[in-house]
Structure 1
Amino acid sequence: MLYTDNRQDKLKVTEKFIDKLSEVCSFTLKEEELDKEYQISLLFVDNDKIKEINKETRGINKETDVLSFPMLDYEDKKVYKNMYKGYEFDETYMDGNELVLGDMVLSLEKALEQSLEYNHSYEREVSYLIVHSILHLLGYDHMEDSEKIIMRKREEEILNKLEIIR
């Protein structure tokens, strides 16, 4: 289940928009072979608010597009497709039957700016950022080049299967 909270007023957030993002979330998790019900919270903000959160949580005093706050702990920070299949998570990570994956904070203002900069649709940019953030919630990272290659490849594979292209 995707829980959303809109705390910005620069771009309209419709039920259709939220339904599309829920579809992107579900598809991404299915592609990663997560076979559990899940919870993800998604907070929509503007550039000022994400800058504030970025400074508070990461010590970086600038706006960004999306922030991810995973709830799961990953021992070796290496995540592979299929690692969740049949895995029983400790009750620490469960809310009833749902696995609590974490929180995402998305600047819709930044997503719009980037869609114009990269010359693709706003829907494509927001979908990309959702896929990117979910992969972070699942333990993917891009701090090292080798990790970045793996993560970028998964992002593109998932978006291509969703037929969300540049």
Structure 2
Amino acid sequence: MKLTLGLPDPVVVTVSHWPQPGDDAVAGPPALPGFVDSSFSPLVAVVAERCFAQTAARERTGLVLVSRSGDLAGATHVREAVAEGKRIGPLHFFQSVPNSVAGHVAARFGLRGPVVCISPQEDPHRAGLDEAALLLADGEADQVLIVLVEQARTGDTAVALLVSGGEQ
């Protein structure tokens, strides 16, 4: 499939998921220091770690974080605290922006490419591939980690795709 801009789809190098066999989907992903009361950021971190366990990140690796709804659990906590007149802790403010966990992942794995967070109304997978294709075509990155994450009452899910422009 080609993008409307005529760019080829990136080539998938590796893929990781949450949950996968052996994961405790009820308990959620492993805790992520500095991020509290929500599975959103830990989901991003665990699928990124799983991707980079399969292949090393290049220095010029970009990151595209894709979520239709963002951190629902975090937003709910803040909304309820405000409605009840309670003080919101600084960690909740920090993690209310998806760039926080994206920056954490970039620092942890030494990524030096661009970081983009998007919330598409249409197909999130397609939107992530399109954004990665643009970063690769611009020469901004040699590869891009696309992380798609959603929280839902039926269970949290995350997928990470490490993609390149085709040269390996």
Question: How does the TM-score come out when normalised to structure 1?
Answer: 0.31
Whose RCO is larger (CA < 8 A, sep 6+)?
Answer: 2
Rg larger in structure: 2
Normalized per residue, the structure richer in helix is 1
